[in-house]
Amino acid sequence: MSPELTEIVLLLFGGIAISSFWLLINLVVTYHPYHNPAVPFFSVFISGAIAIFITAELSGNISTIEATRIALTNGGSGLLQILPFAYVVFLFFLLKASFRRRPQDPLLALLDEE
């Protein structure tokens, strides 16, 4: 596999790992007696474990802890690197918000009359 392709695959599985970790932490800290988290917990846990396993396979002979660190680091770095794209999308909505003219609200007009 070429280094570029390896990087893309590592980023993909890094994204899966960081997203799975985020969901697992969220499930644990929002637990309450009326919650039924077993199925979501195990499905997300398995997806994260598969991502870490594949990262370990692609990175050579490394331990699970090291593969977890690499996957989470890739995920975190990737998230930061796509911020400019998110920023462009955000700026589009910000431009719309800056220049829009809201229609006059009839209820507010009634208040003014009073």
Partner 1 sequence: MGRMGPSFSRSKFSFPLILLGFLLMVVHSSPVPSPESIFLTTLRNTAIWTFIASLGITLVLIGAPTYYRIRPMQLISGWMIIGIAWMLYLDYSAPLTWLEFFVPLAIVPGILLPIVIFAYAVQFAERSMPILEEAPELNQKERDFVTSIISRNLRRSEAATSGEQINDRPGEMLSKSSSRIDRNSGGESNES
| Positions that interact with partner 1 (CB under 8 A) | 4, 7-9, 11-20, 23, 36-40, 43-44, 47-48, 51, 69-70, 73-85, 87, 90-91, 94, 97-98, 100-102, 105, 108
Shortest distance in whole angstroms from residue 14 CB to partner 1:
6
Q: Closer CB to partner 1, residue 97 or residue 110?
A: 97
d(CA 18, CA 50): 12
Shortest distance in whole angstroms from residue 94 CB to partner 1:
5
Shortest distance in whole angstroms from residue 17 CB to partner 1:
8
- Tokens of residue 3, six digits: 């280094």
How many whole angstroms from its chain centre is CA 26?
12
* Burial state string for 38-53 with b = 16 or more CB within 10 A and e = fewer than 16: eeeeeebeebbeebbe
Other C-beta atoms lying within 10 Å of the C-beta of residue 28: 10
